[in-house]
Structure 1
Amino acid sequence: MTFTSPISGTDILRRNNVTVSGNPAGRPIVFVHGFGCSQEMWGSVAPRFEDDHRVVLLDLVGAGGSDRSAYDPVRYDSLHGYADDVLEVLEALDLRDVAYVGHSVAATIGVLAETRDPSRFGSLVLVGPSPRYIDDGEYRGGFERADIEGLLDALDANYLGWSQAMAPVIMGNAEKPDLGRQLTDSFCSVDPEIARHFARVTFLSDNRRDLSAVRTPTLVLQCSDDVIAPVSVGRYVHEQITTSRFVQLSATGHCPNLSAPDELADEIRSFLR
């Protein structure tokens, strides 16, 4: 199907602060960040692909250098709004056979974009994915509903305080406190109102049924000791996507793009060969 956009390609690229580098003739690889982050989170990973790939980075609306005036609570009341943005960026750049690399919630955004228009994608790399964070029957997402409600209440009450407390926990790697500070700074740079809304959309989402619709070759990359996306969730994603491979990284925590860029880049490159 053809995805049509109501706004110009230039406006789309400005909206998502799209940057393009690398080999213009190479296969496109698109990196998308997770909650509370920006394209800067790929700074130690993306440049490694510039010799062989056309490297595309973007900021989800509300994050980084995106056009925050474009934030529409109705459009972004589900992850589908962000998936539509990704497809608009791919169309604006006329990209196909895309290797899409999504971290955390951006993994689910990539799944939704692929199922909407699979013709654009050649590979998916899902880093620390979770289609649902809340336990449901035999499914173990890692959190009870009360846990998520408490997390969201704390975020609503004091976003900056929540960020300073939670970012190091999400980061893990306590022996490298500079990484926790880097993630804290990223969280604290996000507009609190947008962050509160995005957090509810993210942590209350349930996209399990979308996984089985994926037909693109997919790599599921899972860290250990990940408080946001436990190993059992990564294996669940792998089991639901019939075209997927599962790799357990040596990296710990939720952000291997910061804590283990060498290992992460090596696994992505090996998969894309």
Structure 2
Amino acid sequence: MDVRSRNNVVVTGRPDGPVVVLAHGFGCDQNMWRLVVPALAENYRVVLFDYVGSGGSDLSAWSEERYASLDGYAQDVVDVCAELDLRRAVLVGHSVSAMVGVLAAQAAPERIGALVMVAPSPRYIDDEGYRGGFTAGDIDELLQSLESNYLGWSSAMAPVIMGNPERPGLGQELTDSFCATDPDVARVFARTTFLSDSREDLKSVRVPTLVLECVEDVIAPREVGAYVHAAIPSSSLVTLNATGHCPQLSAPEATAEAILGFLRSL
């Protein structure tokens, strides 16, 4: 199957510019990047795509077996990079895609030369000496609720994840994005995301890395950003003056400025 159509690949920006690949998170698609793309596209070649099962991807290519681990999503990233013959691209991953980017860089180091992690979390469940933000019971309850009533869960959780209650349109956009995802796909993606533990994988990162966190984020609290930064020697940490888990929507100018500052430093 053609990767470009399978993953709904879109290429924009400066054709001869350095390459930036934007990878969306759970329940989202490439449209979530639309407010930062114009700033990046002025001087960079920008590649957007949807994971199989998300957005405008080919749902017939989805299988629970492949996407029951983060490696399946990492393979999507590698496939897109290989299809476009990208070399030393900068991968910008939002939320769970930050860890997907780490795995993709492991699998195809010639394709990915730097990482930008937007609101990353290598593990969502608290552990001894580690705060992920949720207890195991919290995550069990979250997954059970999602699986029993996905649309209801989306309507309740998306505004909480987005934050910024004074701007209800943001929460509604994330709700609409969640609700547009096939419930079976969402169930698998959610389990893959919220039960993952990528802390050991962080030790493999050898490329320049920017960790972007928000001042307040219920999904990835500040302790997580500090942990990721400490685990990757080649990383820098920037705290955006923004709240919520999706700064590319709630604070697109600040998000784009931070990404561009990192790109210019490479």
TM-score, normalised on structure 1? 0.95
For 1:101, give the aligned amino acid. Answer: V
Cα deviation, residue 122, structure 1: 2.0
Match of 1:112 in 2: 103
* Structure 1 range deviating more: 236-245 or 46-55: 46-55
Match of 2:186 in 1: 195
SS of the equivalent of 1:75 reads helix
**Residue among 137, 158, 169 paired with 1:167:** 158
Task: Spell out structure 1 runs of 4+ moving beyond 3 A.
Answer: none
Structure 2: runs of 5 or more not aligned:
none
Match of 1:30 in 2: 21
For 1:146, give the aligned amino acid. Answer: G
Map Cα deviations across residues 213-259 of structure 1 (whole Å, 9 max, x no partner): 00010000001220100110011011111110011110111000100
Match of 1:223 in 2: 214
Map Cα deviations across residues 67-109 of structure 1 (whole Å, 9 max, x no partner): 1111111111100111011011101101012011000011110
Match of 2:85 in 1: 94
Cα deviation, residue 49, structure 1: 1.4
Map Cα deviations across residues 145-193 of structure 1 (whole Å, 9 max, x no partner): 0000000000011000000000000000011111011111111000011
* Distance (Å, rounded) in 1 between the aligned partners of 2:108 and 2:84: 15
| 1:137 partnered with 2:94 | no
* Aligned 8 A contact 1:249 1:263 in 2: yes
Match of 2:260 in 1: 269
For 1:137, give the aligned amino acid. Answer: E
* Aligned 8 A contact 1:31 1:46 in 2: no
Q: How many residues align?
A: 264
For 2:118, give the aligned amino acid. Answer: V
RMSD: 0.8
Structure 1: runs of 5 or more not aligned:
1-6
* Distance (Å, rounded) in 2 between the aligned partners of 1:201 and 1:104: 13
TM-score, normalised on structure 2? 0.98
SS of the equivalent of 1:24 reads coil
